[in-house]
Structure formats: structure tokens, C-alpha cells
Amino acid sequence: QVQLVESGGDLVQPGGSLRLSCAASGFTLNSYALGWFRQAPGKQREGVSCIGNIDRATSYVQSVEGRFTISRDNVKNTLYLQMTSLKPEDTAVYFCAADPRRMRFGLNTCPAWSFTFRGQGTRVTVAS
């Protein structure tokens, strides 16, 4: 059974940092397209960052480029999102997602909300 469990969400001040984790079970991350998307109150879901499973290239939405870093640990079977220089507009519930279809992502393109599997989300609040 495929399962994704996020953790690491918290209340943090503007300019602060957080690392989100997504522990996977029931499948191996290495062969899946992976990503994070977020849902803020009153806003549409937004793909934040993706890793393709064709070329392993990463993609970020423009608003987080240079501040967020997606990575994975194949030994721990865990996906991460390192977030720095956080802004109030980063406040949202963050979801990790995975898809077995072969995918490659273009510049600033990350349709993670459309992936086959997703976790339950972890809340990030950026406020002073």
C-alpha cells in the first residue's frame, strides 16, 4: 500500500527556515516523479517543486526559486523540502506527491497536485 506521510510544518517568523519531510512506504521513491504542492486559504493549489523521473531534473515555481530546495534520500526513502527566507505568503498546507508515470518538467512547471499519490499535508505558518 502506497503511503506518504509529511512532517516538519510549524509556525515560523518571516525570514526563518523549515525543512519538510515526506516518508514514503509501499513503493520506492527512486523510480517515481516526486513533488510538493501547497494549498493556502482561499487560493488555488500551487505546485511548488518537482523532480522528474526521466532526467532527475528539478523544477520550482518562480516565487520560491532560490529559497526552496527539493531533495530525496533514497536510503531513507524520504523526500524533503528545505525552505529558507520564508515569507508570509508561503503560509499554506504543504503536500508531498508521487506518480509512477514517466515525467519531465519544464522551467517553473510543477503539476504535483495532479500526481497519483499524495500525503495528508503539513501546515506551515509564516508570521511574526
Q: 76-104 pLDDT, tens per residue?
A: 999 999 999 999 999 999 999 999 999 99
Do β-strands 46-51 and 58-60 pair in parallel, antiparallel, or remain unpaired?
antiparallel
61-65: average pLDDT: 97
Q: 3-state DSSP call for residue 55?
A: coil
Q: How much is the pLDDT for 117?
A: 97
Q: How much is the pLDDT for 55?
A: 86
Going by C-beta distance under 8 Å and a sequence separation of 6 or more, which residues neighbour residue 22? 4, 5, 6, 7, 36, 78, 79, 80, 81, 96, 119
